[in-house]
Amino acid sequence: MSQALKGIIPPLVTPFKDDETIDEAAFRGTVRFMLEKKVHGICIGGSTGEGHTLSTEELARLCEIANEEIQGAVPIVAGVIANSTAKAIEMSKAVARHNVAALQVTPVHYVFKPDEDATYAHFERLTREVGLPVVIYNVVPWNYLSPALLVRLMKGLPGVVGVKQSAGDLKLMADLLIDLPEGKQVFTAVDALLYPSFALGAHGTIAANPAAVPGVTVALWDAVQAGDHARALQIHRALLRFWNALFADNLPANVKYALSLQGCPAGGPRMPMPQPDPARQAAIRTQLESVLRYEA
């Protein structure tokens, strides 16, 4: 990779206008907000960014805008959420024109699950035809890749440079870390357990909590890197309470609401995702006030 990936890499929300088109001005503001919080990179088109709703052209445009704002200051990861190898390649080639450091690619996520050899063939063709480094986004519940398969992919395919390990099972991430091939990376998306993930040796995080409170997660990362585990534990407890308020099936909308409370307008979600209801808003406001005390 021309730019190394590490640390706090928030998956940016995608602001939408009332007509559900992308609010480019608000997206530029979101990018600048993240840079002000000293993040180590950004991810575009991930789950938090409602990447499953974006067209190829929209994803590429967001990458273009981000590059205009960032000017090479931090690496950009582009999320590719697609249900076929051909579509994943189409999206990847479109964003590759915009100085993307790596791709974050989900396994296919429709109801038909390929076997392990087919999954291997999917990533082999993708990395061969596109030529960009790939971080596998291991998130799909009915196509959740085992540590053994992930290690096989990283060992066999030079273009697969790492894994973003999602869902709530820290044991699976720990298993992956102890067998990790040399030179490969694991990024945690176990939002409730960022602190133990970092302590176990995760190379960073691409997750919703960093998208909502980037400065706090930078402070957590810095504390762990400095060996200040007393402070890290304090931040973890506040972050966990915040996460418990934030997490729901409309998580991207909740992240947008949390950003708006910090002076970063982030628009609404695309239908059919709902806005946070009044009870959720109140919970987020309460925990946000507490967790922001730990900003870096």
- The rounded distance, in Å, linking the Cα atoms of 79 and 93 is 12
Instruction: Put residue 173 in one of left, alpha, beta given phi > 0 → left and psi -120 to 50 → alpha.
Output: alpha
Backbone angles phi, psi at 170, to 5 degrees: -70, -30
Q: Collect contacts of 116-124 with beta carbons under 8 A, ≥24 apart.
A: 116/149, 116/152, 119/143, 119/145, 119/149, 119/153, 120/149, 120/152, 120/153, 120/156, 120/157, 121/85, 122/85, 122/88, 123/153, 123/157, 123/159, 123/160, 124/156, 124/157
Candidates 93, 110, 137, 257; catalytic one: 137
- The rounded distance, in Å, linking the Cα atoms of 169 and 147 is 12
- The rounded distance, in Å, linking the Cα atoms of 295 and 235 is 9
Tell me how far CA of residue 92 lies from CA of 112, 188, 217, 256, in angstroms: 22, 22, 28, 26
Would you state the torsion angle of the CA atoms of residues 8, 11, 17, 22, taken in this order, to the nearest 10 degrees? 110
Query: Known catalytic residue: 137?
Result: yes
Query: Known catalytic residue: 164?
Result: yes
Candidates 164, 184, 257, 294; catalytic one: 164
What residues act catalytically? Answer: 137, 164
